[in-house]
Structure 1
Amino acid sequence: MDAPVATIFKGARMTTTYVWEIVQIRPRRDPGKFTLWLSLEDRLVSVPLRIPREFYLNLKSPDTSLFDSSYDAESLVRTLPRNHPCRHLFRVTVPESEFLEMESHFAHLTNNPNVDGVYEMQIPHTMRAVLRLGTACTTTKENDISITRTQSIGLELNGLERAGPSLTKRAYLDGGRILKTLFLYHAINHGRHVLVLVLPSGKFQVHLASPAGSREPLRKMQEQYSALNSARKAAGIVSLYEYPEEIEAHFSYHKDEHKLMAALSAELGTLTDKNYSIVLSSSRDPEYFDLRVKNMYKFPVIPMLTDRAAHLVAVPLQWQSETVEKLMTQYLFFGSWLRVAVEQSTYFDVPVGNIGADAPLFFADIDFARRLWQNDSLLWWSPGLRPDLGGMEHDANAPSEDPNSSVDLANPGCYTNVCLAINVRNLALNSVLQSGIVNELEGTAGATAFDSTSHTLNDYTSGEARASATLGDSVLSPQTFGILKGMAKTWLLDKVRNPGGPSEHAVDHFWRWLSSPSAQMYDPSLQRFVQGLMKKTFIQMLAEFKRLGSQVVKADFGHIILVTSKPPGTASAYATYLLNAVNSHELFTHLELQPDRYYDFLLFMDSANLGGVVSEDPYSTSSNSGPCIAMSWNIESFFPPAVRTAFHQDLRRIIVELYTEHQTHADADRAPLRVIDNLTQDSSAVPQDEVQQKTNEAVTKYLETRLTRRLLGRVSKILASQKQAFTEEEMPAEWLCPLLPGSHRTMATPVIEYVKAMCACLTLIRTHSNEVGILRRNLLELVGVREFASEAQWSDPSARCRVPHVVCRTCTHVRDLDLCRDADLMERTSARSRPGATETKWNCPACNSAYDRRAIESTLIDNIRSLIAAHQAQDLKCTRCKQIRVDDMSPHCKCAGAWQLTVGRAEALRRIRVLTNVATFHGLPFLKEYAESTLARW
């Protein structure tokens, strides 16, 4: 055991051989200067850190005269983003202060005609330090300096190096147990501030500021705390923070935000020498408090990343109780959150105080960037929507969404066998890891695969070796894809070794990271390449389901509905066999296929219009409580209220009666189970063809008699009520058709729309098209419409506004949103930020977490840009022979036909008008403004 050492000598012992654990790298107000917060045993030490500006110039020809002698310019060779040719690459390293002083010099340097590209200019200084140092560092051999001296003169980033595993003797921050934390909670709404500083002793210092100057305290804090703390203990949640049994609240009232922040600063000033870290729970970033709280810089600040709604003061009548509940929920959650944050920081080697706002994307960015650096590749790190490609990203418009890049299959019909709904997860990860098998099965290894054949330098010089692979308009280098594949494989192996650990979180968010423009390492080309692999894998999986005896009813990347050949009662066992058989295939090893629900009977039009009998107990062959009916018909929402209820009830009854007819004959003709001799046919068994014939006869009789009489009576009643309503001076509200975001055509009278929609649903019964046709003719005749008149033709009253591959930030559930037709997206709730107002609720169906509305709105705005670009750059076709024009100069086609647009201007305007309706209905102000301005100038 070491002998006691005087405190004055402790700093001298901590030299280069000592590992410094990094809590946070924090920017200061001076450019290029940062604070490096280190954990040394039980102490927190702040060290000044200087980080230089570093970027790369790819020159067309070597010309060192471009550079000034006051900074370093080193020639080297690296792999450029998207495998762009590396000609004469120089790394420029210059202090940030000098970079700002010589702004004109560097502006001329980066815009010089000899410069082909400027790379890594957009990487923040803090992130560059995090990428290099990780969670622990030591000084280099050339910079032998004690910790005491570093506090006075500071450190250069180049004088530090990442501490290797051999130097790290314990877990990062001892698993977080050595952290002494203060909890700071901040909520705001319409000028009302609630700021709470919580000490480890349980003392709550509550600061309140209100524009009206009210002095209302937060009530029942102890009761709320005790109830939530008891629930936390009962749940057995592991926490790094020891919560007291009792709390003590002190209130301070302030007139405005400035005085509130000044009071907080004064309170923090009394705690500066006690080695505290601050865990900040706020919708505002730490920079917001750095500018307003003078003593905030004296503490490392760990942002607690949670939903914005947790930091929103409620409406005036309920603000006290709801604010107390949010405060206590966040306070009791932060201990377990900190434990998980330290685990993630340890795994991804990132200081706990530097975790990004979207942790899963941030960790993936860091891991991928480090792997690229280790393989001598430059980064395309960019905070914007486009990757940093050295300037080439601005030379072309962003590619439009390829409608063939995803899969959206639908086979309308009436399905009487059991249908199985399946949720699909990890499709992107599986497609990347099994990319070689996908291409082997399709015979495309030479075009889109990265083969493992080795090449000589002569092969690369002569161009015989491929430098990149292409899939559609995406270009990807083998090295980049290999790094991505290796990272995914590492995550998956670590997930298997440590279930529930940080790697599992990374695996779950893999596709969200690849497809999210908010990721710093987002590359549309990489996303489209992986999406192409996903499509290939998905099609192969559907083919495997078909080979095993099931047919596809509906399929997209996140959800599949299959119709089986099995009757009720055997669905669960068959589903287990089916999914195990698919997962046993080498191509689908890493896919997660989870049964969602079973339908004993399904009437399917499309993903927004379906109804059926859901099997509550898949193991049971009969239901004692009657069938459980699931109804989701978007078309009925366009009916006036007077007709909507009738349509819903009638269609529901039809589904129940059709299901009953099929089940009655299937049960009656099913022979009882008994032991029979081998090779002897059971004479009592009814042939399947005979059973089907009896069922068809029963359904035919039902359609021709009972259903025809009932629908004729229903239409007569609606027609009489409609005539009476039309005689009123003002049309009753229950007979007015609603205006919905998908409304795009003029609706006929309610009774005619009822007849057309009901007959469209019955047409799904393909085996009885003649009977349905006769019924349709009789109903149209009753309302005075000819069978083949244009007014009698049915079309979907709703347009579509599809946002594909929306990933939940909480559970990573993948879903295609239709903002015009999905019923759960139309539900309205009170807007918390605007008292008295309402807004639509966009929640994940799997975990009920809110979707990122801002990201979806940004996607829709990009869709308008892509639509305009595609319309302007589209091909021309002949009005007579429909051939596409192959040159740019011919005034007319060879057949003497005139040229016209492939997609007319009217169609583009219609789609933009739909987006305008969507923006108005769902409350998307930026989308509405952009769509309306586009319509105005077009």
Structure 2
Amino acid sequence: MNASFVSSLSEGRAVYILYFPTSFRIHAVVVNPFRNKELSTSFLEKQFRDACQALGSVPGDLTFHVDYQTTVDAGSKYVQRMLLEYRQQHPGPVIAVIECPKLQDIKASVKALDDFPCVTLPCNARDNSYQALGWQATAGRTSMQRCAASTQWFNERISLSRYAHVPLGNFELDWLLFTADVFFSRALRDQQQVLWISDDGIPDLGGTYEGDTCFADEVIQPALTYPGAYRRVSVELKIHHLAVNSLLKSSQVDEMDGGSIGSFGNDMVPGPHATETDFDDPSLCLPAFQVLKQLIQRCISDAVSSGNVFADAILQHLYRWLCSPQSKLHDPALHRLLHNFNYGGIQAKTLDADCADGDNDIDIVSSWNIAECLPKATQDHFVLIVSEFLYVPWKYMREEIAKRATIRDDTSCTPSITVMAAENLEGQVIGYLCDQISNYFAEKLLKIVSDILHHFKGKSKFESDERSRESDPHTHKGDAALEFIKHICAVLALDQNVQHDILRMRKNLLKLVRVKEFAPEAQFQDPCASFTLPNVICSYCNDCRDLDLCRDSQRSKVRSGGARCRIVGSHTIVSRWKTHFCRWSASERGCTTCRTWSASDAGK
């Protein structure tokens, strides 16, 4: 049998939940220094039933109890007393499923937990953020959801224990990394290879590696950006299991690239005088790479033949396991070797290929983070002008296509005429857009700039939010109209076909604010800097992705809503900064001729 213990704590307020499925009881302990009571047994029962129905399970007839305490110590003593009573009533084997932010602090205050084998359920840090008012209802609702999900989670953990042949209480919080480490270590041991288990992310190679580990996890993440206005084709790709496919097809990819990864093991046999410099990274980790490939093949077999969800989860998180320093068997050489083959391609269809896919409804979201650098009063104008600049030529093209479709004879149409007609249509669209810029957009922007000047008349600096004040030290913050002109013209000028017309319109707009066309304050500077952290892992949902701290929105930074994601991100930022600082120091202090350091420089 199992007993679930859910707790959350925030600034002297806390909620402890004891869930005993076999006894059909739920005890709630609310710690509130202000003595107001907002939770009731009927409220908890309703929330628990709703949570069970959402999970597809049938709730039993449970008995609910609610007790209030004024201090955290009093609440811990009450939980201690309830656990001791439960132990006396049920002397048989019991496993405690604990979900709390700080397990060691809970065990220190509730000594009765030492009598139970404990299994830790990952905690969402958002559960410990209480609002000032109405926090009891929110905490009670969340606690009932966690209790309802604990039984299903416990049964899944039992199935995982049977699949991995690992004791139930030995799993770590990140069971995916732990299980992958266990499987990989067993596979390496079967091949009589020495394990390089380490807790700091640097493989323990027995002291043979003396190189600089500062850049061990550095891999080249190519990013190609071609600014422009693309009105015809927009493609969004979502590639799944790319790392798995790259691992399995590494030999074929290496052969197509002109290499021969399999020749390292035959051509480079370590002799008695072999040193570390005799081997490069692929040759050092090639045996482990082959073992990993065999392991992944077995996981694929388990996932396909028996539909094992745990094997499929390991496949989905393969790349996260390879690049995570939290893994006990983390090897940067393996990561770099797989990264060389970790790319995908697209097989384009021919022009005469039949396209059976119909037009799907696609949600188009217009999001311009560059507009956030403008004051609030001008952001709506920016989005409106850019949206019209995209919509007007598209609407004109659709109308022209509809007109030509009504008068065209499909039987007399040839491919050459079709191509020529398409080129003529494109030229007409460009000409129409140029006319719209001169007649419509120029007049509308002149009116908007005049309104902005009138709105901020008499103000030496426009009143904006705190973010726009700190966005970029190069931004000319003395004139809101000037900033609006610079930003809107920079975006519209991305369309190379009408760039000359945009520059002419920009010149007229700058005259309105009495700024010369080539003046330093009239030059646009991109306020959106970029700083990307590769392979950022969420501590709650284990999502792994590259994170641009300067350009990604706050929602995308913390997708699961957990504050721990921000903490993990801050540690990653510091580590990344140290790496860049070490690289800068090495380039500045090292000898420009021999690329080495002197003893005095190394001491510094």
TM-score, normalised by the number of residues in structure 2: 0.85
Offset at residue 436 of structure 1 (A): 0.9
Task: Determine the structure 2 residue equivalent to 1:528.
Answer: 336
Offset at residue 815 of structure 1 (A): 3.4
Kindly indicate whether residue 262 of structure 2 is the aligned counterpart of residue 450 of structure 1: yes
AA aligned opposite 1:573: D
Q: Which of 307, 315, 319 is the equivalent residue of 1:499?
A: 307
How far apart, in 2, do the equivalents of 1:860 and 1:496 lie? 39
Offset at residue 394 of structure 1 (A): 8.1
Distance change (3 Å), C-alpha of 1:862 and 1:321? same
Q: Which of 695, 698, 711 is the equivalent residue of 2:445?
A: 711
Kindly indicate whether residue 567 of structure 2 is the aligned counterpart of residue 854 of structure 1: yes
How far apart, in 2, do the equivalents of 1:817 and 1:851 lie? 15
Kindly indicate whether residue 287 of structure 2 is the aligned counterpart of residue 479 of structure 1: yes
Task: Determine the structure 2 residue equivalent to 1:774.
Answer: 504
Q: Which of 212, 224, 229 is the equivalent residue of 2:49?
A: 229
AA aligned opposite 2:125: R
Task: Determine the structure 2 residue equivalent to 1:195.
Answer: 16
Unpaired runs of at least 5, structure 2: 597-603
AA aligned opposite 2:367: S
Task: Determine the structure 2 residue equivalent to 1:409.
Answer: 224
Cα distance per residue 1:863-913 (max 9 Å; x no partner):
221122111111699xxxxxx943479xxxxxxxxxxxxxxxxxxxxxxxx
Please say if residues 107 and 113 of structure 2, whose CA atoms lie closer than 8 Å, have aligned partners that are also in contact. yes
Task: Determine the structure 2 residue equivalent to 1:638.
Answer: 373
Please say if residues 482 and 513 of structure 2, whose CA atoms lie closer than 8 Å, have aligned partners that are also in contact. yes
Task: Determine the structure 1 residue equivalent to 2:26.
Answer: 204
Unpaired runs of at least 5, structure 1: 1-179, 550-564, 575-614, 619-627, 828-840, 878-883, 890-937
How far apart, in 2, do the equivalents of 1:269 and 1:669 lie? 83
Offset at residue 689 of structure 1 (A): 2.4
Kindly indicate whether residue 239 of structure 2 is the aligned counterpart of residue 418 of structure 1: no
Distance change (3 Å), C-alpha of 1:206 and 1:776? closer
AA aligned opposite 1:886: T
Task: Determine the structure 1 residue equivalent to 2:194.
Answer: 378
How far apart, in 2, do the equivalents of 1:734 and 1:217 lie? 41
How far apart, in 2, do the equivalents of 1:792 and 1:246 lie? 71
Cα distance per residue 1:551-589 (max 9 Å; x no partner):
xxxxxxxxxxxxxx99xxx99839xxxxxxxxxxxxxxx
Task: Determine the structure 2 residue equivalent to 1:470.
Answer: 281
Cα distance per residue 1:674-696 (max 9 Å; x no partner):
7738x978989972222222222
Any idea what SS the aligned residue of 1:415 has?
coil
Q: Which of 345, 357, 364 is the equivalent residue of 1:573?
A: 357
AA aligned opposite 2:491: C
Task: Determine the structure 2 residue equivalent to 1:886.
Answer: 593
Please say if residues 531 and 548 of structure 2, whose CA atoms lie closer than 8 Å, have aligned partners that are also in contact. yes
Q: What is the 5 A alignment of 1:256-267?
A: 256-257=72-73, 259-260=77-78, 262-264=80-82, 266-267=84-85
Distance change (3 Å), C-alpha of 1:809 and 1:572? farther
Task: Determine the structure 2 residue equivalent to 1:144.
Answer: none
Any idea what SS the aligned residue of 1:787 has?
coil
AA aligned opposite 1:715: V
Moved more, 384-393 or 706-715: 384-393
How far apart, in 2, do the equivalents of 1:810 and 1:665 lie? 52
Offset at residue 203 of structure 1 (A): 1.9
Task: Determine the structure 2 residue equivalent to 1:270.
Answer: 88
Any idea what SS the aligned residue of 1:410 has?
coil
How far apart, in 2, do the equivalents of 1:735 and 1:255 lie? 40
Cα distance per residue 1:275-302 (max 9 Å; x no partner):
22222222233x5455444443332222
Any idea what SS the aligned residue of 1:632 has?
coil
Distance change (3 Å), C-alpha of 1:206 and 1:842? same
Offset at residue 861 of structure 1 (A): 0.2
Cα distance per residue 1:748-803 (max 9 Å; x no partner):
52222222211111211112222223222222333333333332221101322222
Kindly indicate whether residue 430 of structure 2 is the aligned counterpart of residue 696 of structure 1: yes
Offset at residue 363 of structure 1 (A): 1.1
Offset at residue 809 of structure 1 (A): 5.9
Task: Determine the structure 2 residue equivalent to 1:349.
Answer: 165
TM-score, normalised by the number of residues in structure 1: 0.57
Task: Determine the structure 2 residue equivalent to 1:108.
Answer: none
How far apart, in 2, do the equivalents of 1:735 and 1:189 lie? 30
Task: Determine the structure 2 residue equivalent to 1:182.
Answer: 3
AA aligned opposite 2:516: R
Task: Determine the structure 2 residue equivalent to 1:843.
Answer: 558
Distance change (3 Å), C-alpha of 1:743 and 1:488? farther
Distance change (3 Å), C-alpha of 1:441 and 1:206? same
Distance change (3 Å), C-alpha of 1:498 and 1:307? farther
Q: What is the 5 A alignment of 1:377-776?
A: 377-391=193-207, 396-399=212-215, 402=218, 405-445=220-260, 449-451=261-263, 469-470=280-281, 476-499=284-307, 501-534=309-342, 537-538=343-344, 541=345, 544=346, 573=357, 617=361, 630-670=365-405, 676=411, 687-726=421-460, 733-734=463-464, 738-740=468-470, 742-748=471-477, 749-776=479-506
Offset at residue 502 of structure 1 (A): 0.7
Any idea what SS the aligned residue of 2:26 has?
strand
Any idea what SS the aligned residue of 2:235 has?
strand
Distance change (3 Å), C-alpha of 1:851 and 1:806? farther
Offset at residue 739 of structure 1 (A): 2.9
AA aligned opposite 2:140: V
How far apart, in 2, do the equivalents of 1:218 and 1:315 lie? 15
Task: Determine the structure 1 residue equivalent to 2:123.
Answer: 306
How far apart, in 1, do the equivalents of 2:139 and 2:190 lie? 48
Larger Rg: 1
Offset at residue 851 of structure 1 (A): 7.3
Offset at residue 493 of structure 1 (A): 2.1
How far apart, in 1, do the equivalents of 2:392 and 2:446 lie? 17
How far apart, in 1, do the equivalents of 2:223 and 2:327 lie? 26
Task: Determine the structure 1 residue equivalent to 2:579.
Answer: 866
How far apart, in 2, do the equivalents of 1:695 and 1:717 lie? 31
Moved more, 427-436 or 744-753: 744-753
Please say if residues 265 and 286 of structure 2, whose CA atoms lie closer than 8 Å, have aligned partners that are also in contact. no
Q: What is the 5 A alignment of 1:115-154?
A: none
Please say if residues 7 and 14 of structure 2, whose CA atoms lie closer than 8 Å, have aligned partners that are also in contact. yes
Between Structure 1 and Structure 2, which shows a larger proportion of strand residues?
Answer: 1
Distance change (3 Å), C-alpha of 1:699 and 1:209? closer
Any idea what SS the aligned residue of 2:236 has?
strand
Offset at residue 649 of structure 1 (A): 2.0
Any idea what SS the aligned residue of 2:474 has?
coil
Task: Determine the structure 1 residue equivalent to 2:546.
Answer: 816
Distance change (3 Å), C-alpha of 1:394 and 1:442? closer
Any idea what SS the aligned residue of 1:774 has?
helix
Distance change (3 Å), C-alpha of 1:755 and 1:400? farther
The percent of aligned pairs where both chains have the same amino acid is 22
Any idea what SS the aligned residue of 1:386 has?
coil
Please say if residues 264 and 293 of structure 1, whose CA atoms lie closer than 8 Å, have aligned partners that are also in contact. no
How far apart, in 1, do the equivalents of 2:465 and 2:173 lie? 49
Any idea what SS the aligned residue of 1:631 has?
coil
Q: Which of 489, 507, 531 is the equivalent residue of 1:801?
A: 531
Please say if residues 436 and 450 of structure 1, whose CA atoms lie closer than 8 Å, have aligned partners that are also in contact. yes
Please say if residues 762 and 772 of structure 1, whose CA atoms lie closer than 8 Å, have aligned partners that are also in contact. yes
Cα distance per residue 1:917-936 (max 9 Å; x no partner):
xxxxxxxxxxxxxxxxxxxx
Kindly indicate whether residue 98 of structure 2 is the aligned counterpart of residue 280 of structure 1: yes
Please say if residues 704 and 771 of structure 1, whose CA atoms lie closer than 8 Å, have aligned partners that are also in contact. yes
Distance change (3 Å), C-alpha of 1:309 and 1:646? closer
Cα distance per residue 1:186-219 (max 9 Å; x no partner):
2222233433323222222344445x38484732
Kindly report the root-mean-square deviation, in angstroms, between the aligned alpha carbons of the 2 structures: 3.8
Cα distance per residue 1:102-153 (max 9 Å; x no partner):
xxxxxxxxxxxxxxxxxxxxxxxxxxxxxxxxxxxxxxxxxxxxxxxxxxxx
How far apart, in 1, do the equivalents of 2:166 and 2:434 lie? 69
